[in-house]
Amino acid sequence: MIAGLYFLLAGRLVYLQAARHAYFQKEAENYRVSHHLLPAMRGQILDRNGNVLAMDDTSAWAIYADPLEVGDAAGTAQALAPLLGLDPARLQALLTPRSSKNHYASLKRHVDDAIGRRVKALNLQGIGVIPDTRRLYPNGPLAAQVLGFTNSDGDGIEGVERSQDDQLRGQDGLVVAEVDRKGRFIPGTERPGHTPQNGRDLVLTLDKTLQNVADTELARAVRDHHARNGVAIVLDPRTGEILALSNAPGYDPNAPRPAGRLDAARAAALEARRRDHAVADLYEPGSTLKTITASAVLQEQGLGMMDKYVYCSPTLQIGRHAIHEAADALTKNLGSQNLRGVLRVSSNVGMAQFGLGLGADRLYKYEQKFGFLDKPGSGLPGEQKSWLQSPDEFNRFTESTGWAKIQLANISFGQGISVTPLQLAAAYAAIANGGTLMRPHILHAVRDSDRETPVAPEPVRRVVTPEVAAKVRSMLGTVVQGGTGQPAQIAGYSVGGKTGSAQVAGAHGYESGHFVASFVGLYPLSHPRLVIMCAVFEPQGIHWGASVAAPVVHNIAKAAMLALHVPPDAPEEVDWDDHLKERYRSQWDARHRMARRT
Amino acid sequence: MLETRMSPVSTPPRSVSRAAAPRPALTVPSHTRESAARALPSARPVERRTGRSRMPRSEARLLAFAIAGTALMCAVLVVYLAAYAHVSQLGLEQTRARAQLRQARQENELLQAQRALLQSPARIIAAAQKLGMTTGAQRVTYIDARDTAARTADGGSGDGQNFQGTNGGTSADGDAAAAFHH
C-alpha cells in the first residue's frame, strides 16, 4: 500500500514536472517577469528656423477610477468635478460601477501638471493618477490648419499631423525583466527587449514670423469685411516652398473640440474652421486668371501680340450671352487696349477677345501646364484639383465636343473654371521664377535622430519661356504701378500683381452679392523672392480685390521684406499708405480752403 | 607498556618500531613508579604523535587535497560573491543612472515646451503691448550719400544700395539688415 502511495506520488510529480511543465513555467514567468511598454515619442514639428510648432508634452496626467474601489461616488464626484471641469452628475455616473468587473473608467486625459498633482494630493479612494503624454501646440492657433491635430491616442487627425502620420509616429519599446514583490525591476535581470524608436521630426517650410503676420493680417481683413473666411499664402517662387499658409477664422489645435455635445450647426462651423481652404476648396479665381491667359497668348502667338489692340466695350455679345465689364469699369470708357492695358484695367471684354483668338485647345493646354488640372502634391491633406473638361470631351450641355464660345470667353477671364488658392499661387510662382512650375511643398527636411534629410525642390515642368515670363511680370508691374493693384505698392520695392473680384457660383448660377476678393503679388518684381496670395471669401459691402485683398498682401509683404532682409530694389517707389495719406491730406486741404472761402 | 613509557623523552618518534621490539625487563623501585605515574601526563603528546604517525601517507595527501580544495572552493565562492555583489552594485547604479537620465530628459522636454510657449508670437506681442510698445513703421530708411539726414523711401533719394537703419549704422548692400527697422 505504501508502495502504491509512493507510486501515485511519483506519478503526480511526473505529471507536474513533465506533462504540465510548460504551463507552470509560464505561470512562474508571469509571476516573476514583467513586460513594460515604453511609449515612443511622436516627432516634433518645427518651422524652417527650428522653432517648435508641435511637440509631445510629457508633463500631463491621466485621471482614472476603479469604480469598484470608489466608496462614495457622489462625494468623489463633487470633489473632482471642479478640478477636472466635468459635470458632477456625469462624473458620478462614471464612478458608479456598472458591473462586478468594472475596474476601470477613464475620467480625463491630458490634464495639466498642477491639476494632476492636486488630484493626487486629494488621495481619493479608487482614483488613480498616472503620467500621460499630450500633443502641445505652443503657438496656439498659429498655422492651425496646416499643422492639424491628433486625437487622444496620438493619431494624426488633420493637417500635417495626418498627412505625415507615418513619419511622426514612433515605435513603442518593450522592457522585459524580473520584478520584486512590489513589482519593481530587479537590476541585472533585464532580457533583450527593444528600445523605443521615437518618431521623426519634421522641419516645415513655414517661417513662424511670416506665418504670424499672415495670420494676423488675414484675420483682421476677414473681421473688418465680415467675410465668411479667407486664405493667405506666401510662396518662395524659386523653390516652391510654402513660407506661410493662413486660414481665417482659425482655431486652437490644443483644444480642437470644445467640451460637451455639439449641435449640427456648431459642428459644421467647427469643421469649416478646421478645413484648410487653401488646398481643399475650389473657387472661381476671376481676374487673377487673366495673367495665365495672357501668358498663354504670348507663348503661343509670340511677343508680337503685345502690339495687338482690342476694343474694350462695356459689354461683348456672344450669341445669347453677354460679357460685361466689372461694375466700376462700366461707367468708364476703357477704349482700345493691348494685352498690357487689358491686364492693367482688368478688362473682361478685352481678355475674352484675346482668349477667343487663342482658341479652346491652346487655352486648355495652358490651364493644364500651369497645374490647375493636377493636385499640387504639396504634402498637405485634402488637396483638390480643377475639374475643367477638355475641349476634346463630349459636352452634355452643348451636346457636342469642344467648349462653347461663351465658355471659352468666360474661362479667359477666370469664370467657369475652378482652382484652389495654392494652385493659383504656384502658377504665379512659375511666372515669377522665369517660367518653371515648381511643386509647392510644405516639408523642408526630415530629422531622424541626428541625421537631417532635406527635401529637394522639385521642378514640375517648364510652362513658358523666360522671355514670356519676364514680359508678363512687367505687365503685372504695370497693374500695380497704374492699374487696379495700386494698394499693393510698398516703399522701396518694385511690385507686380493682379487683382480679382469674382462672383461666387451657386447651384443656380452666380449668386448675387457673393464675391471672392483676391490679389496675387510678386515681391520684389525685379527678382521675385515672394509670391503672396490672398483671397477673402464673401466679404460684406465692398468686395473688390484691390480694396479687400490687396491691403492684406501689402501688409504681409512689408513685414516679409524686412523679416527676410530683402534689399530694396526701387528706392523711388512710394508706399500706398503714403499715397492715401497724401490723397486724404489734399482732399482735407481742399475742403478746408472751401470752408474758409465760404 | 609502562616500562616502555619510562624513558620516552629522549626516544625519537621513529623508535616506534624499536618500541615494538622485545627488550629486557627493568626493575623499577616503587617510588620511582609513582613518580613515573605522576609524570604520565607529560608523556601523552608522545602518544598522540605516535597515533598520527600511524596515518598512511596517501590518506594524509588526500586530506591535504581535501583541505586545499575546500579552501579553493571557499576562495572561489568568496570571489564569486564579491563579483556578484559588484555586478548587483553596478546594476543598481545603472538603474539609478537610467532613472536620472529619464528624469533629465523629462525636464529637458518640459523646458523645451516652456521655451516654445514663451516664444509664441501672440504672447510676445501681448507682453510688448502691455509694456506700451507699438508696431513700427515697417519700412526702409535711406541715407543720401551727400546728406546724412535720414529720409524715408518716399523722399526719392538714395540709390537703393546705401542705406541705414534707425540705429544710425550705414551699410553697403551686403548687410541689408541694417537697413530695416520694424
Nearest-CB residue to A139 (from B91, B121, B177): B121
Q: How confident is the model over A92-120, as a mean pLDDT?
A: 87
Name the residue among A261, A260, A255, A232 with its Cα closest to residue A244: A232
Give the right CATH number for A208-254+262-583 from 3.40.710.10, 3.40.50.2000, 3.30.70.20, 3.40.50.720.
3.40.710.10
Find, in chain A, the residue whose alpha carbon is nearest to that of B152.
A491
Give the pLDDT band (50/70/90) at residue B130.
very high
Q: What is the pLDDT of residue A244?
A: 96
The position carrying cell 490651364 is: A367
CB contact under 8 A, B121 and A212: yes
Ramachandran angles phi, psi of A505, nearest 5°: -80, 135
Sheet containing A509-523: which strands, arranged edge to edge? A241-248, A229-236, A530-537, A509-523, A496-506
**β-bridge mates for residue A451, sequence order:** A448
CB contact under 8 A, A492 and B94: no
Average pLDDT for chain A:
89
Residue B157 has pLDDT above 50, yes or no: no
CB contact under 8 A, A567 and B159: no
**Which alpha helices (DSSP H) does A439-548 contain, by range?**
466-482, 545-548
Nearest-CB residue to B110 (from A59, A139, A209): A59
**Contacts of residue B139 in chain A, CB cutoff 8 Å?**
490-492, 558, 575
CB contact under 8 A, A562 and B180: yes
**Contacts of residue B88 in chain A, CB cutoff 8 Å?**
187-188
- Identify whether the C-beta of residue A45 lies closer than 8 Å to the C-beta of residue A59: no
| Domain boundary assignment for chain B | 13-52, 56-134, 139-181
Residue to mutate among B109, B110, B112, B140, with most A CBs inside 10 A, is: B140
Residue A370 has pLDDT above 60, yes or no: yes
A102 vs A372: which has the higher pLDDT: A372
**Contacts of residue B157 in chain A, CB cutoff 8 Å?**
571
Chain A residues within 8 Å of chain B (Cβ atoms):
51-52, 55-59, 136, 138-142, 185, 187-188, 208-209, 212, 490-492, 558-559, 561-562, 565-575, 578
Query: Counting one residue from A and one from B, how many pairs have CB atoms under 8 Å apart?
Result: 108
Find, in chain B, the residue whose alpha carbon is nearest to that of A139.
B120
Ramachandran angles phi, psi of A461, nearest 5°: -170, 160
The position carrying cell 530708411 is: B141
**Contacts of residue B140 in chain A, CB cutoff 8 Å?**
491-492, 561-562, 568
Most confident of A151-160, A319-328, A464-473, A569-578: A464-473
DSSP B130-167: HTT------EEEEE-SS--SEEEGGG--S-SSSEE-TT
Residue to mutate among B138, B142, B182, with most A CBs inside 10 A, is: B138
CB contact under 8 A, B138 and A562: yes
- Identify whether the C-beta of residue A498 lies closer than 8 Å to the C-beta of residue A485: yes
- Identify whether the C-beta of residue A47 lies closer than 8 Å to the C-beta of residue A211: yes
Enumerate long-range contacts of A399-404, CB under 8 Å, 24 or more apart: A402/A360, A403/A360, A403/A364
**Contacts of residue A561 in chain B, CB cutoff 8 Å?**
140, 180
3-state secondary structure of A164: coil
Chain A: nearest CA to B120, how far in angstroms?
Answer: 5
Q: Where are any strands of DSSP class E within A415-562? A: 436-438, 443-448, 451-454, 459-462, 496-506, 509-523, 530-537
Chain B residues within 8 Å of chain A (Cβ atoms):
87-88, 90-92, 94-95, 106, 109-110, 112-113, 115-117, 119-122, 138-140, 142, 152-154, 156-161, 163, 173, 176-177, 179-180, 182
CB contact under 8 A, B152 and A491: yes
Q: What is the pLDDT of residue B53?
A: 61
Find, in chain A, the residue whose alpha carbon is nearest to that of B106.
A58
- Identify whether the C-beta of residue B139 lies closer than 8 Å to the C-beta of residue A554: no
Q: What is the pLDDT of residue A277?
A: 94
Chain A: nearest CA to B101, how far in angstroms?
Answer: 15
Q: What is the pLDDT of residue B4?
A: 40
Residue B149 has pLDDT above 60, yes or no: no
A270, with CB counted inside 10 A (0-12, 13-18, 19+), is: middle
3-state secondary structure of A48: coil
Give the right CATH number for A37-72+95-204 from 3.90.1310.10, 3.40.50.1580, 3.30.70.270, 3.40.50.2300.
3.90.1310.10
pLDDT in tens, A504-522: 887 777 877 789 999 999 9
The helix (H) or strand (E) run that includes residue A53 is strand A52-65
pLDDT in tens, A139-187: 999 999 999 999 888 899 999 999 999 999 988 888 888 888 777 777 7
Q: What is the pLDDT of residue A329?
A: 54
**Contacts of residue A489 in chain B, CB cutoff 8 Å?**
none
pLDDT in tens, A473-491: 999 999 998 888 999 999 8
CB contact under 8 A, A571 and B120: no
Grid cell in block for residue B88: 548587483
pLDDT in tens, B11-67: 444 444 444 444 544 454 555 555 544 544 544 554 555 555 677 888 889 999 999
Name the residue among B18, B6, B3 with its Cα closest to residue B50: B18
Q: How confident is the model over A229-235, as a mean pLDDT?
A: 96
| Domain boundary assignment for chain A | 37-72+95-204, 208-254+262-583
Give dist(CA A229, CA A271) in Å, integer. Answer: 13
Give dist(CA A162, CA A316) in Å, integer. Answer: 48
Grid cell in block for residue A151: 486625437
Q: How confident is the model over B104-127, as a mean pLDDT?
A: 89
Residue A340 has pLDDT above 60, yes or no: yes
Nearest-CB residue to A51 (from B119, B177, B180): B119
**Contacts of residue A208 in chain B, CB cutoff 8 Å?**
121
Residue to mutate among A186, A569, A575, A580, with most B CBs inside 10 A, is: A575
3-state secondary structure of A66: coil
Nearest-CB residue to B140 (from A142, A209, A492): A492
Q: What is the pLDDT of residue A58?
A: 84
A557 vs A103: which has the higher pLDDT: A557
Q: What is the pLDDT of residue B166?
A: 32
Q: Which residues, other chains included, contact A105 with Cβ-Cβ below 8 Å and sequence gap of 6+?
A: A64, A65, A66, A67, A94, A95
What ipTM was estimated for this complex?
A: 0.74
Give dist(CA A233, CA A247) in Å, integer. Answer: 9
For A497, half-sphere exposure in the C-beta direction (CA atoms, 13 angstrom radius) is 36
pLDDT in tens, B69-92: 999 999 999 999 999 999 989 988
Distances in whole angstroms, Cα of residue B62 to Cα of each of A339, B56, B57, B76: 118, 10, 9, 20
CB contact under 8 A, A58 and B112: no
B150, with CB counted inside 10 A (0-12, 13-18, 19+), is: middle
Chain B: nearest CA to A570, how far in angstroms?
Answer: 7
Q: Which residues, other chains included, contact A295 with Cβ-Cβ below 8 Å and sequence gap of 6+?
A: A366, A370, A431, A463, A464, A468, A469, A472
Residue to mutate among A45, A47, A139, A201, with most B CBs inside 10 A, is: A139
Residue to mutate among B120, B166, B171, with most A CBs inside 10 A, is: B120
pLDDT in tens, A406-462: 989 999 999 989 999 999 999 999 999 999 999 999 999 999 877 899 999 999 999
